[in-house]
Structure 1
Amino acid sequence: MQESAKRLPIVVLISGGGSNLQAIIDAANNDLPVEIRAVISNRSDAYGLERAQQAAIPTAVLDHTHYEGREAFDTALIELIDSHQPQLVVLAGFMRILTPEFVRHYQGRLINIHPSLLPEFRGLHTHRRAIEAAASHHGATVHFVTDELDGGPLILQAQVPVLADDSEELLAARVLEQEHKIYPLAIRWFAEGRLEMRDHTVVLDNQPLEKPAQLEA
């Protein structure tokens, strides 16, 4: 295990079960060079908080219903995140639309994972929509966050086939397996200094990506 000083400090934001958080925790316990400084949720009942506590990671709850509006909540969230001095902020099922001010504050060091092959199926209910659209493939995307919903520069994708007898739940489960692979990988690239956003473009190993990297099956 690497020394803490050589690990990238990150903060993870969640709203629910935290399975992607668990994938990051497991990778960090292996050889992913990150230090998870805190896990923050806008919901006190998010199971991901328990996952973090079991891993001895500091947790905090910032309930958005206690704030007048989005701007006030995001201002408080910035203050809380910055108290942990992360170099990367990781959205792992954080079900909040972030204000432009928040996104600008973390520009280039804020990433998200979305359960579709962006730019297809932005927003919610992606698996149902993929089935209804008779898509041949579906998947997940890691991207830098901008103030366009699910519209930031695309880093890495993984595909799964959409099968004839797929239900929303079956398809979701297969996509989630891929999410657990690509999110730690994208975080690794950032931690190792291989990944950055320049002028709204993803740069990997000093090469601008014209299209997102693909996880090889």
Structure 2
Amino acid sequence: MLRLVVLISGGGSNLRALLERCEDPAFPAHVVAVGADRDAEGLVHADEFGVPSFLVPFGHYATREVWGAALLETIRTWAPDLVILSGFMRLLPAAVVDALAPALLNTHPAHLPEFPGAHGVRDALAAGATETGASVIVVDHGTDSGPILAQERVPVLPGDTEAALHDRIKPVERRLLADVILDIAEGRIDLEELA
């Protein structure tokens, strides 16, 4: 049974989907803690599912590196097998990435390497793309540039708004993340080969 720590910054809709998936006794993972860099709305999902949560507020630390050290120390107390960035909108310091990767995963609402960064959906629309997608990657030192573990295309429909397109991408992200976790647990993905 894989131990997951999930980090969020916002509403936590992807977190909630993962918590629901972990309710299935046949799913080989469970969320042991949920962390945030701010007082995120999504922490209510952890409470609802009886999962401990923690807060390491970015603004309470003098530098990104000091914040990162505090975050890493807190994460390690939960002894996770995987750390999942789920709408976590803060760049992790290099030392944190080095300490956790390759067991540090992120979902991204684009078919990487297309449209990396914080506004993947908006950027796809602005580029006039006819399709975009969702990806699950290992976090590295770049911006959404780590090894791709799974991805799938999602069409851009005429008249799509950023919100409408993102709403169609999110279920794909959630499914891909659950599939990747399952593949890691069952040995079909070996993260150590990516180290």
1:134 aligns with 2:142: no
Displacement after TM superposition at 1:197 (Å)? 3.1
1:93–1:193 distance in 2 versus 1, CA, 3 Å = same
CA deviation vs aligned residue, 1:83-112 (integer Å, no higher than 9, x gap) = 011111111011111111111101211000
Rounded to whole Å, the distance in 2 between the matches of 1:71 and 1:109 is 20
Secondary structure of the corresponding residue to residue 146 of structure 1: coil
Aligned residues: 194
Mapping 1:175-214, distance limit 5 Å? 175-198=169-192, 200=194
Give structure 1 stretches of 5+ with no counterpart. Answer: 1-6, 202-217
Displacement after TM superposition at 1:198 (Å)? 4.6
Residue in 2 that maps onto 1:162: 156
1:39 aligns with 2:34: yes
Residue in 2 that maps onto 1:57: 51
**Aligned-partner residue type, residue 171 of structure 1:** L
Displacement after TM superposition at 1:35 (Å)? 2.1
**Aligned-partner residue type, residue 13 of structure 1:** L
Displacement after TM superposition at 1:193 (Å)? 2.4
Residue in 1 that maps onto 2:2: 8
1:29 to 7, 10, 23: 23
CA deviation vs aligned residue, 1:13-38 (integer Å, no higher than 9, x gap) = 11111111111111110132112110
Assess if the C-alpha contact under 8 Å between 1:108 and 1:196 holds in 2: no
**Aligned-partner residue type, residue 126 of structure 2:** E
1:36–1:198 distance in 2 versus 1, CA, 3 Å = closer
CA deviation vs aligned residue, 1:143-188 (integer Å, no higher than 9, x gap) = 0011111100001112111112111111111111211211111111
Rounded to whole Å, the distance in 2 between the matches of 1:150 and 1:73 is 21
Secondary structure of the corresponding residue to residue 47 of structure 2: helix
Residue in 2 that maps onto 1:172: 166
Assess if the C-alpha contact under 8 Å between 2:10 and 2:87 holds in 1: yes
CA deviation vs aligned residue, 1:32-71 (integer Å, no higher than 9, x gap) = 2112110001111x12110010000001111110001110
1:119 aligns with 2:116: no
**Aligned-partner residue type, residue 65 of structure 2:** E
What TM-score do the two structures reach when normalised by structure 2?
Answer: 0.95
Give structure 2 stretches of 5+ with no counterpart. Answer: none
Displacement after TM superposition at 1:194 (Å)? 2.1
Rounded to whole Å, the distance in 1 between the matches of 2:186 and 2:104 is 16
Displacement after TM superposition at 1:199 (Å)? 5.4
**Aligned-partner residue type, residue 34 of structure 2:** V
Mapping 1:93-104, distance limit 5 Å? 93-104=87-98
Rounded to whole Å, the distance in 1 between the matches of 2:90 and 2:45 is 20
RMSD (Å) for aligned C-alpha atoms: 1.3
What TM-score do the two structures reach when normalised by structure 1?
Answer: 0.86
